[in-house]
Structure 1
Amino acid sequence: MSPKSTLLETPRLRLRTFRDDDVDAFCEYRSHPDVARYQGWSAPVSREAGASDIREYGGTDPSAPGWFMYAIEAKTSGLLIGEIGVHLHENRMQADIGFTLAPAHQGMGLATEALTATVDSYLARGLRRISADCDARNIRSAALLERVGFRFEGLRKSNRHAKGEWVDELFFGMVSECRKPT
């Protein structure tokens, strides 16, 4: 792996840019029904669609306004196990964040580790606010956001129409001076 591709590192993970050879693992976890359930895509994810997404994700800059997708790699295996997306606003003072982790790697604190590193990195750059939302039925994601230090800010009933149904959404936020030490 190129040292330039690693952007953040934790004890068990590398957060890096996506590579062409990530496509099989990417499609596998994005095609899992439990993963896709609360996301904007539908399972299964074809190899062609996955390769297109990876090409798109690989060409962005984490410090530029817009979406940047971090590939989450397990250090022990070198395998892609998930992703974190950060949407940096034009003002470069606030961002939205989202995450996905392969089912086989859930429940081990890896999402907490990756999300904490990402949030800390952006706050260290001077961000004032980071926001996140999730489907109200996705209690594991809501708990993860609170564990990392996000505060619950509200519930919007029938806020989004997704996959043929109206979805309630939970909203979370973190303001830099309110950040709990990690």
Structure 2
Amino acid sequence: MTILQTPHLILRPLTPADLAAVITYRNDPDVARYQAWPLPATQANAAGLVTDAPLGAPGWVQRAVTLHDGTLLGDVALNTRGPQGELGVTLARHAQGRGYAQEALRAVISYAVHRLGLHRLHASIDPRNTPVTALLTRLGFRHEGTFLQSCWHRGQWTDDAVYAVLAAEWRA
């Protein structure tokens, strides 16, 4: 089981005890606006986030983002496919804008590059999500392109912006 620690956070597997909080923040319209999961978030689909798979196992693997006192702030995910990975992060509204997403993603990226040996990491986002655009830029990701109206999302066509960083760039 992969547990990552940072100065302020612990990234650990989600547990069944976390599901009520996960459902609450994932059903918050401000949190869910640009996310791809089905709404409403339910016990059944949130339970799919609970896994004992190690971070880096093929497919999406979620990790709870908690403070050292155990307070659940949200979740972060790594979707590993061969030598590449895709990142995702979701924080409850009360935890946003405090640097937690950057700290959590930095830990996952470092783990993916240094421990898993991944070659490239990317994130696929709705470009209207300007806080995440700024977050990825601060982390050293570059904008590789935007696919116009390529995603059917919550009843409308939306753009998909891809940001990425190579392992060599991250190490530098």
| TM-score relative to the length of structure 1 | 0.87
Mapped pair 1:19 → 2:10? no
Alignment counterpart, residue 121 of structure 2, candidates 118, 126, 130: 130
Q: Which residue number corresponds to residue 99 of structure 2?
A: 109
For 2:36 and 2:143, locate their aligned partners in 1 and report how far apart those are by CA, in whole Å: 22
For 1:118 and 1:48, locate their aligned partners in 2 and report how far apart those are by CA, in whole Å: 26
Q: Between Structure 1 and Structure 2, how many residues are aligned?
A: 171
Q: Is the 8 A contact 1:31 1:42 kept in 2?
A: no
| Shift, 1:44, TM fit | 3.6
Alignment counterpart, residue 165 of structure 1, candidates 134, 138, 156: 156
Q: Is the 8 A contact 1:149 1:180 kept in 2?
A: no
- Give the counterpart letter for 1:154 in structure 2: G
For 2:165 and 2:45, locate their aligned partners in 1 and report how far apart those are by CA, in whole Å: 33
- Residue correspondence of structure 1 range 56-135 to structure 2 within 5 A: 57-76=50-69, 78-89=70-81, 91=82, 93-125=83-115, 126-135=117-126
Alignment counterpart, residue 48 of structure 2, candidates 42, 53, 57: 53
Instruction: Give the 4+ runs in structure 1 shifted more than 6 A.
Output: none
| TM-score relative to the length of structure 2 | 0.92
| Shift, 1:42, TM fit | 4.3
Q: Which residue number corresponds to residue 153 of structure 1?
A: 144
Mapped pair 1:31 → 2:24? no
Q: Is the 8 A contact 2:56 2:78 kept in 1?
A: no
RMSD, matched Cα: 1.6
| Shift, 1:48, TM fit | 4.2
For 1:23 and 1:64, locate their aligned partners in 2 and report how far apart those are by CA, in whole Å: 22
Q: 1:53 to 1:101 in 2, by over 3 A?
A: same
Q: Is the 8 A contact 2:56 2:79 kept in 1?
A: no
